[in-house]
A and B are shown apart, each in its own frame.
Chain A
Amino acid sequence: MIDLDYMAGLVPVILRFVPLTFGMAVGSMIGALVLAAVLAVIRVLRIPVAHQAAGVFISFFRGTPLLVQLFLFYYGLPQAIPAFVAIDGVTAAMLGLTLHFAAYMAESLRGAILGVARDQWEAARAVGMTEGQTMRRIILPQAARVFAPTMVNYFVDILKSTSLAFTLGVTEMMGAAQKEAAGSFRYLESFLVVAIIYWIMVEVLSRVQAWLERRTERRATGGTRA
């Protein structure tokens, strides 16, 4: 019933698209992380106007499906903004993934920042640091340590979500599998191969996460509250 030879032949075909999938995920992750840090700092410091704007942004991108957002960017926006006519599927997908996951990451990063003991803020202010210096030198590094294992979770999510890019006509791993299946009518084999490759990638990442967590525990932040 399952054509194992066909599956074996398909593996190298799909593997060729691993770099694209992985690249889209890494690019979106970096973008999301930077944007999330900015949003989280704005929320924590309650910077007027920006604070409210960030709230609306986070609410919208958490409150609507990723697929809807991708369609909005790729099919919808060119209608309103001519510059977007030239947008390609990969860019649109990465833009959507960045904004979507930035919204989620901003909230958990905010939690990590608020989890840093109050006396750390006070100690930084007491030596004469500005709010920016306090944030950069003392608070964010401690929040990042707490946030690091969670970050791997988000990366796994992003990696799997890149498969939605095929709905924008991008031939990444999922798109390639879909094309192969359409040609050979071997849907089960094709999607099984792509699923297994995703699974292995995520497994590897989970090991990295477990290692990160052990390392964080060993160098526990300690001394935060006596």
Chain B
Amino acid sequence: MSGRCGASLAGLTKRFGETTVLRGIDLCVEPGECVAVIGPSGTGKSTLLRCWNFLERAQAGRVQIGDLSVDAAAATRAEVLAMRRRTSFVFQSYALFANKTARQNIAEGLTVVRGMPQAQADARAMSILRDIGLADRADAYPSNLSGGQQQRIGIARAMALDADLMLLDEPTSALDPEWVGEVLALMRRVAEAGQTMVVVTHEMQFAREIANRVVFMDGGVIVEEGPPERIFSDPTDPRTRAFLQRVL
């Protein structure tokens, strides 16, 4: 399976104390694909993303990106670092570096992690900022940016890394409704540019219009997955049907 996938999870199991959050997740993401993960709160969607780049440590299973495949439970420090460097991550809380300006937030990973010269990293950061229409906020600190601007910078920081897999954890859930549109528009552009991405989202509109595939999770398992047209118009599992009736 991992031979064909750009990125995959196999048999991923995660427990927090007594509670099992993920019960053997198998998921294969093709290169350039945009996968939307939907489902009720507390079903392990975010945990799934966070195990992929080892913000959480799973108890069993394998994690793969490109030619790198590691044991999720026994990964060494070097493997964890290598996996993180093949991913980028967008947080629900934005999590911009509070001590860095917008431009520095984007350039930081390039200089510190990739070893890119400062001038080159700054130029790349500025070019992305112009591209997303935030060049005039380049020297602003996160505390002086709106939620929508912060999250667009958060996505820009992930874009700059040009990672094999971009993971987005409910990127619009913390936003005031007025900012959701601009963030979704940017996510659409990133997807259309061919970035391989997995998005945990409550935005059914995004899942329906932009994702190539929708994965419905409930109770720590993938209940159903398929093209958005089918999942939304003709869900086979009763749990999927019940969920979609509630949210649509």
Binding site for B on A (CB under 8 A): 117, 119-120, 122-130, 133, 137-138, 141-142, 145, 219-226
Contacts and interface: CB of A to CB of B under 8 A. Distances in A.
B189 to A, nearest CB: 21
B205 interface: no
Contact of B143 (A117, A122, A220): A220
Contacts of A133: 112-113
Nearest to A226: B93
Interface residues of B, number: 31
Q: Output the residue of A119, A126, A142, A224 with the most chain B CB within 10 A.
A: A126
B88 to A, nearest CB: 7
Interface in B75-123: 81, 84-85, 87-89, 91, 93-99, 108-109, 112-113
A127 B93 contact: no
Contacts of B145: 223
Contacts of A125: 53-55, 84
A223 B113 contact: no
B84 A142 contact: no
Given A125-B54, A127-B161, A221-B98, 7 more contacts: A117-B95, A120-B95, A122-B55, A123-B97, A128-B161, A222-B98, A223-B96
B85 A226 contact: no
B113 A128 contact: yes
A39 to B, nearest CB: 22
B157 interface: yes
B148 interface: no
Given A133-B112, A137-B108, A137-B112, A128 B85 contact: yes
Contact of B99 (A126, A130, A221): A221
B21 to A, nearest CB: 17
A136 to B, nearest CB: 9
A128 B99 contact: no
B174 interface: yes
A138 B81 contact: no
Contacts of B109: 127-129
